[in-house]
Copies of this chain bind each other. A is one copy, B any other.
Amino acid sequence: MRLFDKVAIVGVGLIGGSLALAMKKKKLARKIIGVSRHKKTLSLARKNRAIDEGTQDLSIVRDADLVILAAPVKTILRLAEKIAPLVKRDCVVIDVGSTKEEIVSKLDRLFSRYVGTHPLAGSEKRGINNADPFIFEGSLCILTPTKNTDPAAKRKTEELWRKLGVRVVFLSGRAHDRILSFISHLPHLAAFSLIGIAPRQYLRFAASGLKDTTRIAASDPGLWADIFLSNAGLLKAVSLFEDELRKIKSAIKSKDRSLLIKILKGAKKKRELLE
């Protein structure tokens, strides 16, 4: 069922490409145009039938009914300034950035029909080569409307994600970033650190434990540097993490087995809620 006439997806990587494929599959748009700096990405996206048309020229957004900014956080901020003077007044603009507070506060001012979104899907892989129309199915998407958000734009954005098989949750940008600190950004930071300090000559002894714990450390460094820099709440989560490490260290130092077991039991119980 068609929701939009002409859709411009700016950034045709893992998420942008998967969105294009999923929208095609569900016939949610008449025409999908991909915008990328890279000709190769565009030709791949066309070959995959993710997009109907590809261009390096941002001005294509002029007659779009929906613009999706599917890029790393900093790039979204930069792109938003460039396209703000170009889009139609009634064009719905959404982004899929991994942090929301900074982006929402800026894009809310730049566009009359903007809604911040963050699909909690994806992986450490990137690029149109890994795009998958089913990546969103059964996952969660956080929408971050503000008191300024146009109700029709909010409704349409919610409908778009629901049609892609996603459960939608509404949060403020700040709440989003605080939650993501704990469930994604700090775990990434910890994973990068764990593998970062592991002596190279020890890696041949690595079993599934280290592999699972650090899988997300294979994620894109530029993308994650920007996420770390734009989540104002992250440092607080890191501090809590450091406190917890200190607590365990001190239990080890004082050989307090029952305290240690109590801490680990609490963690295990919480972990069991996850699956």
Q: Measuring CB to CB, which residues of chain A are less than 8 angstroms from any residue of chain B?
A: 120-123, 139-140, 142, 169, 179-180, 182-184, 186-200, 202-222, 224-226, 228-229, 234-235, 237-238, 240-245, 248-249, 252-253, 255, 257, 260-261, 263-268, 270-275
Contacts and interface: CB of A to CB of B under 8 A. Distances in A.
Contacts of A182: 197-199, 202
Contacts of A197: 182, 237, 240-241, 243-244
A108 to B, nearest CB: 22
Contacts of A245: 189-190, 193, 238, 241-242
Given A207-B121, A264-B221, A273-B200, A193 B228 contact: no
Contacts of A192: 248, 263-264, 267-268
Contacts of A263: 192, 196
Nearest to A264: B221
23 contacts: A120-B205, A140-B204, A140-B205, A142-B205, A187-B214, A189-B248, A195-B271, A196-B263, A196-B270, A197-B237, A197-B241, A206-B274, A211-B274, A212-B212, A218-B272, A219-B268, A221-B264, A221-B265, A221-B267, A225-B261, A228-B248, A229-B257, A235-B249
Question: Chain A at the B interface: mostly helix, strand, loop or mixed?
Answer: helix
A271 B218 contact: yes
B235 A253 contact: yes
A270 B228 contact: no
Contact of A190 (B194, B199, B240, B265): B194
Nearest to A192: B267
Nearest to A262: B221
A37 B233 CA distance: 49
State the number of copies, please.
Answer: 2
Contact of A210 (B205, B228, B274): B274
Given A213-B213, A275-B211, A229 B260 contact: yes
A123 B208 contact: yes
A196 B268 CA distance: 8
B120 A207 contact: yes
Given A216-B213, A245-B238, A260-B228, A184 B196 contact: no
A269 to B, nearest CB: 9
A198 B272 CA distance: 13
